[in-house]
Amino acid sequence: MRPWMPGALCAALLAAAPLSAQDVLTIGVRSEASSLDPHWTQLSADLQVQEHIFEKLVALDSASQPVPGLAVSWEPLDETTWEFKLREGVRWHDGESFTADDVIFTFDRLKGGISGAPASPAFQLDKGSKSWEKIDDYTIHITTDGPYPTVAEDLAMLPIVAEHAARGVTESVDFNSGQAAIGTGPFLFEEYSPGSRVTVKKNPGWWGGEVAWDQVVFRPVTQDASRLAALLNGDVDIIDYPPTVDLPQLREDPDFTVSTIPSDRLIYLMPGYKHVEPFITDNDGEVMVPNPLRDWRVRKALSLAVNREAIRDRIMGGASLPAKNIVPPGFFGYVEELEADPYDPEAAQALLEEAGYGEGFRITLHGPNDRYINDARILEAVAQMWSRVGITTEVDAMPRNIFFSRLIRGDELSMPGFDVPEFSMSMTGWGTVAGEATYTVSGTLETYNAATGGGNGNFGRYSNPEIDARSVLAKRTIDPDTRRGILQEAIRIGMADYAYIPLHFQVNNWAMRAGLEHQPRTNERTLATEISRVD
């Protein structure tokens, strides 16, 4: 099919780099980085580029577990104080030494608020009411207002900027121009050309060792088909989110390889728990009282009626991991024995019968159509499967920018803190970014409480005191083993009660030209340091 592929590839590489001896990696990414200020947004498209330039005290390995970054070690001194030992001999890109002052400056900068930033990560500092103190040039103490176990996980979200370069910088453009984009990371800022490319070049003095690439170019190609075409003709070396329909072909093609890993993003169906739910009606169209979804047998029936293998094989191109767990394998809090519900429509119908809904009812399933991999098609499939067991399901899929407002806030006029989520059954996703289950349990299973932040992702308004007690306890338990036990208990209780209906973990895929090796990451980011040449 592509007889002179290698030729085209060489030509493209030569065109990109006049010095042919250079090793250049071109990454085709789905979304563009909107800023190089690491404290500007929480959008992963931004973070993935920034991670090449800036580093954090705590890094995350490919399974999102905390490992030493700019801090070499950390430990709790007592219930509320954590000591972080910083890495010595690290230099900023402009040659200055990295010290505790930079860390203190970074935290102060965040605390002070980044003016105009649509979403700075400052809230990670507010969690546990952290305060910070420099002990010496390479030691800092973090104090919390009570026992707080996930200090390291929170700090893994906070990129450290250079005091001498970023002091006084308030405009994100100063980072985009490179003036303040001085980090400690494996790559130096080279060029930021909006809409077109971000280029970084090798940091020869990186503390982490020799960097394999002389130059890395991120090129945004939003359209899936175009991104794939750019890979096929050699314009780029590797792409994220290859279209799932093309995965089987890519896997078979000797010119390309695909790397795969389950992601931290759980896709699940969230029932609404209000006494009366507007989108749940009987077969005559009358709103049902009480809401049948409050009966756990109905929720279990809905779960059993979904054929997760069929979704994986026929919609996801094999790229999904059917689940009942709420964090993926390898994450802190994963429960070994929880296995995805089997497809059993007879049992589902029997359960509905038992619960008194033998004649079925009607439901509207809401979801986004541009947020998760193949989301609209999954919604259609689930609706058909549910309709087959007697629950006539209508799908209402909408763009994410509308979906999330209605999901979280409901009516536009509701007061902040008194949100009334609108949907009676919705499909959403939850990414366990920090690599551990504390905030997944608290966010999705705990009772909604605007003041404590509990249940801030619990849009069905599920409420179970047994889980609440454990979730609150886990958030205050320092000892990892005890905490893991508590979290697993909470997850077991929640899943036995079918608090929500997990479908699958998304599987992250990357497609690249043959001759590259990639260590994929659960958190969906594409890092050049994890890509190497083998040819």
Partner 1 sequence: MAEFIIRRALQALLVLLVMTLLVFFGVNVIGNPVYIFASSECDQACLTAIIEDLGLDRPIWQQYLTFLGNLLQGDLGKSFTHGIPALALIFERLPATLELAFAALVLALGAGLPLGIYAGLRPEGWGAKLIMAFSMVAFSLPVFWIGLIMILVFSVQLGWMPSVGRGETVDLGGLELSFLTLDGLHHLVMPALTLSLIMMAMVIRLARAGMREVLFSDYIKFARASGIRESRILGVHLLKNILIPIVTVLGMEFGGVIAFAVVVESIFSWPGVGKMLIDAIAVLDRPLIVAYLIFVVFMFVILNLLVDILYSVLDPRIRFGGQER
Show contacts with partner 1 in window 19-58 (CB under 8 A).
28, 32, 34-35, 37, 40-43
414 near partner 1, judged by CB under 8 A? no
CB of 242 to partner 1, least distance (A): 14
Q: Least distance in Å: CB of 228 to partner 1? A: 9
Does residue 290 have a cis peptide bond before it, meaning omega lies within 30 degrees of 0?
yes
Chain residues 123-162 in contact with partner 1, contact rule CB under 8 A = 123-124, 126
For tokens 């536009």, the residue is 412
Which one among 318, 453, 485, 515 touches partner 1, defined by CB under 8 A? 453
Q: How far is the CB of 222 from partner 1 (least distance, A)?
A: 5
Q: Which residues contact 133 (CB under 8 A, 6 or more apart)?
A: 104, 140, 141, 143
CB atoms within 10 A of CB 21: 6
Residue 173 lies near partner 1 (rule: CB under 8 A): yes
Beta-sheet pairing, 24-29 with 215-220:
parallel
Q: Give the largest Cα separation in the chain, rounded.
A: 74
**In the stretch 188-227, what mask flags binding to partner 1 with x, by CB under 8 A?**
-----xxxxx---------------------xxxxx-xxx
Q: Which is nearer to partner 1, 94 or 126 (CB)?
A: 126
The DSSP bridge pattern shows strands 24-29 and 238-240 to be parallel
Q: Which stretch binds partner 1 (CB under 8 A): 93-101, 205-213, 276-284, 432-440?
A: 432-440
> In this structure, are residues 121 and 110 in contact, taking their beta carbons and an 8 Å threshold?
yes
Residue written as token pair 């947020």: 371
**Residue 73 or 129 having the CB closest to partner 1:** 129
Q: By CB under 8 A, tell whether 62 contacts partner 1.
A: no
Between 286 and 411, whose beta carbon lies closer to partner 1? 411
Count residues binding partner 1 (CB under 8 A).
Answer: 76
For 9, list phi and psi in degrees, rounded to 5: -65, -45
Contact yes or no for 53/192 (Cβ under 8 A): no
Give me the least distance between CB of 302 and partner 1, in Å please. Answer: 23
Instruction: Choose, by CB under 8 A, the member of 75, 133, 171, 394 that binds partner 1.
Output: 171
Single out the segment in contact with partner 1 by CB under 8 A; choices: 87-95, 292-300, 428-436, 497-505. 428-436
Distances (CA, A) of 80 to 71, 76, 141, 144, 250: 19, 7, 10, 5, 51
Q: How far is the CB of 429 from partner 1 (least distance, A)?
A: 9
Least distance in angstroms from the C-beta of 368 to partner 1: 11
Query: For residues 474 and 438, is the Cβ–Cβ distance under 8 A?
Result: yes
Best CA proximity match to 197, nearest among 22, 8, 33, 24: 33
97 is a site residue for partner 1 (CB under 8 A):
no
Which residues in 329-348 contact partner 1 (CB under 8 A)?
none
Choosing from 233, 249, 384, 482, the residue that interacts with partner 1 (CB under 8 A) is 233
How long is the chain?
535
Q: Within a 10 A sphere around the Cβ of 214, how many other Cβ atoms? A: 16
Question: Measured from the CB atom, is 162 or 230 closer to partner 1?
Answer: 230
Name, in order, each residue with C-beta under 8 angstroms of 107's C-beta and a sequence gap of 6 or more: 125, 132, 158
Binding mask 241-280 for partner 1 (x = CB under 8 A): ----------------------------------------
Closer of 248 and 399 to partner 1 (Cβ): 399
- Cα end-to-end span (Å), the chain: 22
Give the rounded distance of the alpha carbon of 437 from its chain centre.
13
Contacting range for partner 1; rule: CB under 8 A; set: 169-177, 319-327, 381-389, 506-514: 169-177
Segment 99 to 118, residues that bind partner 1, using CB under 8 A:
113, 115-118
327: number of Cβ within 10 Å: 27
- In angstroms, how far is CA 24 from the centroid of its own chain? 28
d(CA 388, CA 525): 38
Minimal distance, residue 99 CB to partner 1, in Å: 29
**Interface with partner 1 (CB under 8 A), residue from 93, 130, 312, 409:** 409
The one among 5, 17, 59, 478 contacting partner 1 by CB under 8 A: 5
**Amino acid sitting at position 67:** V
**In the bound complex, what is the minimum distance in angstroms from residue 354's beta carbon to partner 1?**
35
Q: Is 450 in the site for partner 1 (CB under 8 A)?
A: yes
The alpha carbon of residue 447 and the mean position of all alpha carbons in its chain are separated, in whole angstroms, by 22
E-state strands within 152-186: 159-160
Question: Is 423 one of the binding residues for partner 1 (CB under 8 A)?
Answer: no
Which one-letter amino acid corresponds to residue 478? I
DSSP 244: G
User: Does residue 10 belong to the site contacting partner 1 (CB under 8 A)?
Assistant: no
Q: How many CB atoms lie within 10 A of CB 74?
A: 18
Find the binder of partner 1 among 456, 463, 464, 532 (CB under 8 A). 456
In the complex, minimum distance from the CB of residue 413 to partner 1, in angstroms, rounded to a whole number: 11
Burial tier of 236 (Cβ tally within 10 Å: 0-12, 13-18, 19+): buried
In order of 245, 257, 317, 377, 396, the CA distances from 250 in angstroms are: 10, 7, 11, 22, 33
**Would you give the binding string for partner 1 spanning residues 490-529, x where CB under 8 A is met?**
----------------------------------------
Q: How far is the CB of 26 from partner 1 (least distance, A)?
A: 10
Residue closer to partner 1, measured from CB, 169 or 478: 169
